[in-house]
Structure 1
Amino acid sequence: MKRTVFSALLILILGAALFADDYTRMIEARVFKLVNAERVKHGLSPLQNSETLTLVALNHSRDMVKRSYTSHVNPDGLDPTARAKKAGFNTDKKIKNGIRRGVGENIYEHQAIMVEDGIHKPIIDPPFTVSEKAIDGWMNSPGHRKNIMNEGYTKVGTGVSVSKDNKVKITQVFF
C-alpha cells in the first residue's frame, strides 16, 4: 500500500514538473516564432536563437519568479547587459562606425484570473494565448517594438518561468 501511494505521488510530482517544462518550452518557441514573423513581415531578417542568450533570459525569468519582482534590473542592481556579461556573453559588436555595446531586453508578465462565486483564482492560460498577448503587448509598446524591429540585432534568447500563483514571466534578450 505504501509503495502504491508513493508511486502515485511520484508520478503526480514528475507529471507536474514535465508539464511545467513543456508549457514553458511551448511559450518560448511560440514567442521566438512570432517575433521572427513580425520581423520578416516588416522586411527584416529573422533572428537566430542563441543558447547563451536563452540561458540569460531563462535565468532572469526564474529570478523574477523566485524573488517576486518584474524589472529589467534585478534586486542586485544588474541590468540586462551586466547579466549577459556575467554569463560570458560578449556584449560588444563591431558595426560600421564603431562598436555597439550592450543587449536589448523585453520582459512580460501574464496572469489569468478566473472569478468563481466572487472569488478570484489564478489560472493557467494556454501557451498560444500567453505568447500572443506578450507579442501584442510588445508590438504596442514603442521601446519593446524597437527591440524587436532593431535591424542591428541578429541573435535572441527567450526564457519563461511560472510562479506558484501562475504568473508567467517571459524574458527575451536581443543582440
Structure 2
Amino acid sequence: MIKRLKRNPAVRFAAMLFAFVSLVFPDVSAAQDELLHLINQYRAGARNCAGQEVAPAPPLQSNAALAAAAHAAMNGGLLAEHLQRVGYRADNAQWLSVSGTSSERQAMTLLAQRFCGQLTRDSYSEIGIYQDGAAWSIVLAAPAAAPVDPEAAAQKILALTNEARAQPRRCGQKAYAKAPPLKWNAQLAAAAVGHSEDMASKNYFSHISKDGDTQSERVTSEGYRYRIVAENIAAGQSDAREVVAGWLKSPDHCANLMNPNVTEMGAGLNADPASEFGVYWTQLFAAPR
C-alpha cells in the first residue's frame, strides 16, 4: 500500500555523466581522486582553524550526484537548486571553489587556507569534486536521513497522537481538555498515503491536490462515510516525533489533533528525493456516520 522510495532518474543521469567524464578525461578523474585523498588526509589530523582546535574527522566518500552539482555550481545559481536537480537530498551542504592552479596539491593548499573549518567539519560525510582546468569546484554534504519504515512511522504517529491527547493542552488561544484515544482506520490510512504519494510525485504541498481533490473527497473515495473529517500535513521531516511536535506547535494542526469529536485516525508518508521537501506526511482524523 505504501510506495517504496523510488530510484531517481536524475541520480542515475548524474552517475552516468560522471562516469562519462572519467572515461573521456581520465587525467581529470585521477586529479579529482588525488584531491579527495588529500582532503581526507587533511581531515584525519587534528589542527587549528582560525584559533579553534579541531578534532580529526572521518573520511569523505565520493558521490557522483554531488560531483554533478559541483559542475553545475561553477556556472552560478543556488546550490540547493543544483542538488535538487541531481536528486540529492542534504541535511546540510556547502560549495567551495578555488582557482588559479591545475595542481591538486596547490589546490589543497588554497582550500586549507580559505576553508579549514568547512573541510574539517565532521557532519559532512560525502563530497563531489569537479575540475575545469585551473578551476576547482567542491560540494560537501551530509545526506538527509532516510525516513524509518513507512508502516512503523505511521503507527508511531498514532501512538504519539494518543499520547498527546492523553493530557490537556492549549492550541494557540484555545484550551483543550484531554481527549479519548483514537483508533486506527485502514481506509483513512489509505487516503493519507495516497495524498502523500501525490504530493511527493507531483512536487507540491497543499491540502488540495493538483486535481482539485480535498480531504473529504479523498476519504470518500476510499469508501469511508464520515460525520467529521480533518487533515494535518507536513513535509521535510524524517522522524514521526518531529512531525507530531511540529503539529502541536501549530494552533490549527494542534486543534485537529486534540478534537474530542473525532474517533479514528489514519496516517501515511511518502518519500521522493527529486521532490522539493523529499518526504511528505498526511494524517487524517474522522468520526464515522
TM over 0.5: yes
Gap regions ≥5 residues in structure 2: 7-145, 169-177
Q: Which amino acid aligns with 1:173?
A: L
Name which of 250, 259, 264 aligns with 1:150.
259
Checking the alignment, whether the CA contact within 8 Å between 2:192 and 2:282 is kept in structure 1 is: yes
- Aligned runs of 1:19-98 on 2, under 5 Å? 23-42=149-168, 43-92=178-227
Q: How many residues align?
A: 133
Counterparts of 1:105 and 1:16, CA distance in 2: 23
Q: How far 1:33 sits from its partner (Å)?
A: 0.7
**More helix per residue:** 1
State which of 220, 228, 232 in structure 2 corresponds to 1:106: 232
Instruction: Identify the residue that residue 170 of structure 1 maps to in structure 2.
Output: 281
Higher relative contact order (CA 8 A, sep 6+): 1
Which of the pair has more CA radius of gyration?
2
Which whole-Å CA distance do the structure 2 matches of 1:80 and 1:174 have between them? 10
What's the offset of the Cα at 1:91?
A: 2.1
CA distance in 1, matches of 2:282, 2:209: 13
SS of residue matched to 1:29: helix
| 1:49 to partner: Cα distance | 0.3
Q: CA RMSD in A?
A: 2.2
Please report how far the alpha carbon of residue 44 of structure 1 lies from its aligned counterpart in structure 2 after TM superposition.
1.2
Q: Distance in 1 between matches of 2:218 and 2:229?
A: 10
Higher mean alpha-carbon deviation, 51-60 vs 165-174, is at: 165-174
Separation in 1, partners of 2:278, 2:154: 15
1:21/1:168 Cα in 2 relative to 1: closer, same or farther (>3 Å)?
A: closer
Amino acid paired to 2:201: K
Letter in 1 for 2:153: I
Percent of aligned positions that are identical: 29
TM-score (norm 1): 0.70
Q: Equivalent residue for 2:241?
A: 132
Moved over 2 A (4+): none
- Deviation of the 1:24 alpha carbon: 1.3
- Alignment partners' CA distance in 2, 1:62 and 1:24: 12
Instruction: Tell me how far apart the structure 2 counterparts of residues 144 and 21 of structure 1 sit (CA, whole Å).
Output: 22
Distance in 1 (alpha carbons) for counterparts of 2:163 and 2:202? 33
Report the alpha carbon displacement of residue 151 of structure 1 after superposing the two structures with TM.
0.2
Q: TM-score, normalised by structure 2?
A: 0.43
CA displacement at 1:82 relative to structure 2 = 1.2
Q: Secondary structure at the match of 2:149?
A: helix
- State how far apart, in whole Å, the 2-side matches of 1:21 and 1:143 are: 25
Q: Deviations over 1:19-65 (max 9, x none)?
A: x8962122212111101100012321110000100000011111111
